[in-house]
Amino acid sequence: MCHGEDFSGKGSATACLECHDLFPHANDWAGIENHGVYVRDNGYKSCQTSCHGPDLSGGLSTVSCTSCHASYPHGNDWKNPEGHGLYSIRNEKDVCKGCHGYDFLGGLSNIDCRECHDPYPHESGWVEWDNHGNYVVMNSNSSCSGSCHGTDFTGGDTSVNCFECHQPYPHNTDWTNMNTPSNHGRFYVESYVLQDTSNEECASNCHGIDFKGGGTSIACDSCHDDDIFPHVDEGQILWADTGHQNKINSLGGDTLCRVCHSDYKKGAFGGDLITCTSYCHQ
């Protein structure tokens, strides 16, 4: 009766809101569209009184802010990857949707997650080639490294190793250098030709099952002239369809062959991978 049923001061002429303009809270104050919007627009300094406590852990009200939204108010280092980044990984990013929107484009907070780290949060089905594969082709993989998947793409904070799905991509810096032991030629020969296994990792979405470009638009014969490599039938070392000797004759020499097979005695890339004399030419 003192302050009135609506706390407006009837009976004592002292309205509660004269001292604390937010309390008593409205019946629907707990809704994010109410207290959430207020805090967004005004900050939460007025909440850090004796009501909820300087650290917002409860105060006199014994109502801790984190009892409803565990990660808010955010800590001082929240913007750092080890702050909000690790939290979203360990607790699933869905907990962020209430503030940042179900599409993470801002929501009530007006803070679009992708303003800082596009293209994360990833869209549904991101693991499919048409999504992350096309993104990398169009934008490079620079945004994938760092704290997310690691500077070496072996996992980083996410523990998602790129190589678990598509070895040997991302390619190393010497991938096209024929003079280094970690180049694509040696990898191809050791992994597919000598093992007599499918070269699906290079074909399919990346360079195409016909090696004419695929999703990357990089055709093998853009570097390997005259459609000489990959050979017509890699599984049969003899290049049997038309005969490799016929190809050499049509090229007018073996200059292109020596790029990989060296002087024929040492074998591919100066080693002992494929020597002409070890198979047919004794």
What is the model's pTM?
A: 0.71
Tens digits of residue pLDDT in 3-24: 556 666 566 666 666 676 777 8
Residue 92, helix vs strand vs coil: coil
Average pLDDT of span 131-135: 93
Q: What is the pLDDT of residues 42-78, one digit of tens each?
A: 888 888 887 889 999 988 889 999 888 888 888 888 9
- Each residue of 190-211: pLDDT tens digit? 787 777 777 778 888 899 888 8
CA dist., res. 195 & res. 187, Å (int): 11
8 Å CB contact between 267 and 184: no
Residue bearing the bigger pLDDT, 144 or 203: 144
Q: Measure CA of the first residue to CA of the last residue in the chain; give whole Å.
A: 111
Cα separation, 245 vs 243, in Å, equals 5
What DSSP element (H or E) covers 277? Answer: helix 276-279
- Which whole number is the average pLDDT over 257-279? 64
Query: Which range has highest mean pLDDT (39-48, 127-136, 177-186)?
Result: 127-136
- Distance of alpha carbon 33 from alpha carbon 27, whole angstroms: 13
Best CA proximity match to 171, nearest among 214, 132, 126, 140:
140
Question: Among the listed ranges 73-82, 139-148, 254-263, which one has the minimum average pLDDT value?
Answer: 254-263
CA 202 to chain centre: 20
The answer to whether 247 touches 255, Cβ cutoff 8 Å, is no
Greater model confidence, 4 or 29: 29
What distances in angstroms separate CA 78 from CA 97, 117, 122, one per listed residue? 16, 14, 20
pLDDT for 84 equals 92
- The proportion of the chain whose per-residue pLDDT surpasses 90, expressed as a percent, equals 26
